């Protein structure tokens, strides 16, 4: 990645480095949440990360924005995988639970899996049912009979 000139818009100097950008995007692409990443002492705040990626922000960094966009697509795949993984592991464990708790545990499994699935759809249109339906409508409208 080329060295980036970070425009100082006042306040503290930017902590942006190429190495930091790579670490943020790598962790995010593997499904780690931005808020979790930002808990590390050497990381910026989530607002700073989103400013670096936002083309309308005075702290916009183009190379980071491009890398962050690719990381979001990969994060969608990670969350889709986690959704399936939660179901696979949890269904096997469900058999070992007290029948009185099984219903509550099954509900927890469903909610956790759905949360990963929704997050996958947010990060990647491939997993977004609404976006896919809109694309299908558009494709159907383009077909002439």
Q: Are 11 and 56 in contact (CB under 8 A)?
A: no
Is residue 129 assigned to a domain? Answer: yes
Indicate the number of domains in the chain: 1
Q: Are 74 and 29 in contact (CB under 8 A)?
A: yes
Q: Domain range for residue 32?
A: 18-138
Is residue 38 assigned to a domain? Answer: yes
Q: How far apart are CA 20 and CA 83, in angstroms?
A: 28
pLDDT in tens, the chain (145 residues): 545 555 556 677 889 999 999 999 999 999 999 999 999 999 999 999 999 999 999 999 999 999 999 998 888 778 777 777 777 777 677 667 677 777 777 787 777 777 767 776 666 666 666 655 555 554 444 544 4
CATH code for position 129: 1.10.10.60
Q: How far apart are CA 22 and CA 2, in angstroms?
A: 12
Q: Are 120 and 76 in contact (CB under 8 A)?
A: yes
Is residue 8 assigned to a domain? Answer: no
Is residue 10 assigned to a domain? Answer: no
pLDDT for 109 equals 76
pLDDT for 134 equals 58
Is residue 114 assigned to a domain? Answer: yes
CB atoms within 10 A of CB 102: 13
Is residue 49 assigned to a domain? Answer: yes
pTM of the predicted model as reported, rounded to 2 decimal places: 0.66
pLDDT for 140 equals 46
Is residue 67 assigned to a domain? Answer: yes
Nearest to 110 by CA among 120, 99, 118: 118
CB atoms within 10 A of CB 52: 25
Is residue 143 assigned to a domain? Answer: no
pLDDT for 129 equals 62
pLDDT for 119 equals 72
């Amino acid at each position: 990645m080329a060295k980036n000139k970070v425009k100082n818009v006042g306040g503290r100097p930017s902590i942006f480095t190429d190495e930091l950008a790579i670490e943020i995007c790598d962790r995010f692409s593997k499904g780690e949440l931005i808020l979790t990443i930002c808990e590390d002492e050497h990381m910026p705040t989530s607002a700073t990360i989103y400013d670096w990626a936002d083309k309308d922000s005075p702290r916009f960094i183009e190379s980071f924005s491009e890398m962050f966009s690719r990381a979001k697509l990969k994060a969608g795949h990670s969350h889709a995988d986690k959704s399936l993984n939660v179901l696979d592991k949890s269904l096997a464990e469900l058999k070992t639970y007290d029948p009185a708790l099984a219903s509550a545990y099954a509900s927890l499994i469903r909610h956790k899996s759905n949360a990963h699935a929704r997050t996958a759809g947010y990060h990647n249109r491939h997993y977004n049912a609404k976006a896919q339906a809109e694309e299908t409508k558009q494709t159907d409208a383009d077909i002439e009979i």
